[in-house]
Amino acid sequence: MQQSVKKMRKDELISIALREVFLHEVSHWFSGILVTVTNVHVCKKTQVARVYVSFMPSHSNQQNIRLLEQYTHKIYHILTQRLAKKLRRMPELKFYLDESVEKAFFMQRLLADYQVSTHKASLNISPQVG
């Protein structure tokens, strides 16, 4: 199913604006934590924007999501001001944790450990000359 250009543009507009908001206007809420918007999907029927975010460092993700939920109204207000002339109606914001980055790091560590153990095993198996 292909998305319309209009919908893709709306998703991208919200995504870019949210990245700027997190970087410049509300970064003090997350002392020392980088908030990254990884994806935005606006549902046409419900007018809800599903915003997928990740945090670096990622040691307290659930606490950070709760903080986002607590400040959703303020973020919505800032976003509405930024996009007032670009969007007719600003969708409701719902934040979700995007765990794909963490899963990628986990898989990378597993592969690195596998390669190290395979390399060690190949070093231990040497032909006996004798």
- Rounded CA separation 111/24 (Å): 37
- Would you list the domain boundaries of the chain? 5-99
pLDDT along the chain (130 residues), means of 10: 71 94 89 90 90 86 90 95 90 91 73 67 57
How far is CA 130 from each of CA 97, 121, 123, 127, rounded to the nearest angstrom? 60, 21, 18, 9
Residue 118 pLDDT:
64
Residue 127 pLDDT:
56
Residue 115 pLDDT:
67
Residue 71 pLDDT:
93
Residue 1 pLDDT:
47
Architecture in CATH for domain 5-99:
2-Layer Sandwich (3.30)
